[in-house]
Amino acid sequence: MTADNSSLRRHWDARYLTPVPHDTSYYLKCLTAGSLACGITHAGITPLDVAKVNMQVYPQKYTSTLRAIPLLLREEGSIGIWKGVGPAFVGYSLQGMFKFGFYEAIKDQYLNLAGEELSSKYKPAIWLAASASAEVVADIALCPFEMTKVKMQTSSSGTFPMKFLPALKEMSRLRGETRYPFGSLPAIWSRQIPYTMAKFFCFEATVQAFYTYLLTQPKETYSPVTQLGVTFASGYLAGIVSALVSQPADSLVSLLGKSENAGKSVGTIVGEVGWVTLVTKGLGARVVMVGTLTGLQWWIYDACKTAMGAGTTGGK
């Protein structure tokens, strides 16, 4: 810690443990980087997302990713694999902003509440608590757009608007049927909170392991390329674990968007589909999708932070 940073406080403070102080400017950079990381990646993998959702909702028709994408292209053209890209970009940009930015701020607050000794002893628990807290807020911002995206992706051609603004208007008009804008929030929380807890915990733990056992010099002595390589590898591993943890809830969110399930309770849908299908259908596609997605998200996030002078995440 530098002398300048030391003068900013009279007691131990988690915000000043790294070469870059965690001040308001730092958190604003995290908000910006998180928005870019999630918005760009979720929009970019829309074809995989469309295939995964349709495999979950129509498993007899779309039996695999390799079958689903060509079939959607034959039936609906290129729009068939890009359905929902608008709400995905907007919704996940907002979600990423709150997920990453609030995580950084809340984590520092929880560390300070615990104090130096307890925060060192229970740091993994603090990672879990901070990520869960941030995700609760992030999902409120995401929910209306996620509901719209799923409705677009599971609707047959010609039965629902495929453009962003008309789709939002139609969701609002059908709010009695669709439960828009927050009808899927409990299901999204059940998917996203465990996913994000696994995502941030595994990432932080893996980064710390890299700089403890493999790259044993102070993190700031390694080049940005090396640090971002650690970021991507840690993020990809975290994504695989997160996909496995949140798969059943992800399937449920997709099924809630199916027209035939309008008005049905979660218990009814689970009873009709079965837990085995919830856990397994579309899992392979989701592991590939979420592993790649999470690795890229962390890389974009840390690359943006590095470009803005905020450094990479974790390792302290």
What are 208-243's pLDDT values in tens digits?
999 999 999 999 999 999 999 999 999 999 999 888
Minimal CA–CA distance to 212: which of 314, 302, 290?
Answer: 314
- Residue % of the chain over a pLDDT of 90: 64
Average pLDDT over every residue of 279-289: 78
What would the two tokens of residue 221 be?
A: 């002595």
Judged by DSSP in three states, 246 sits in helix
Residue 59's pLDDT band (cuts 50, 70, 90)? confident
H helices, E strands: number in the chain: 13, 0
Query: Does the pLDDT of residue 7 top 50, yes or no?
Result: no
Say which residues have a Cβ less than 8 Å from residue 313's Cβ, sequence separation at least 6.
104, 203, 204, 207, 231, 298, 301, 302, 305
What would the two tokens of residue 287 be?
A: 């592991």
Report the C-alpha gap between 16 and 294 in whole angstroms: 27
Query: Does the pLDDT of residue 1 top 50, yes or no?
Result: no
What is the per-residue pLDDT for 102?
Answer: 98
Residue 9's pLDDT band (cuts 50, 70, 90)? very low
Report the C-alpha gap between 298 and 166 in whole angstroms: 32
Q: Name residue, tokens 């079958």.
A: 67
What are 153-191's pLDDT values in tens digits?
988 888 999 999 999 999 999 998 889 999 999 989 988
CB 48 within 8 A of CB 288: yes
More confident site: 263 or 97: 97
One-letter amino acid at 288 equals: V
What is the per-residue pLDDT for 316?
Answer: 61
What does each C-alpha distance from 26 to 32, 100, 287 come to in angstroms? 10, 12, 32
Average pLDDT over every residue of 56-80: 88
Write down the pTM of the prediction: 0.83
Residue 6's pLDDT band (cuts 50, 70, 90)? very low
Question: Mean pLDDT over all residues of the chain?
Answer: 90
Query: Does the pLDDT of residue 50 top 70, yes or no?
Result: yes
- Residue % of the chain over a pLDDT of 70: 96
Report the C-alpha gap between 191 and 180 in whole angstroms: 18
Report the C-alpha gap between 27 and 55 in whole angstroms: 39
**DSSP string of 106-168, one letter each residue:** HHHHHHHHHHHHHHHHSHHHHHHHHHHHHHHHHHHHHHHHHHHHHHHHHSPTTSS--SHHHHH
Which pairs count as long-range contacts for 175-179, CB under 8 Å and 24+ apart, including other chains? 177/262, 177/263, 178/147, 178/151, 178/262, 179/147
What would the two tokens of residue 57 be?
A: 């909702």
One-letter amino acid at 92 equals: Y
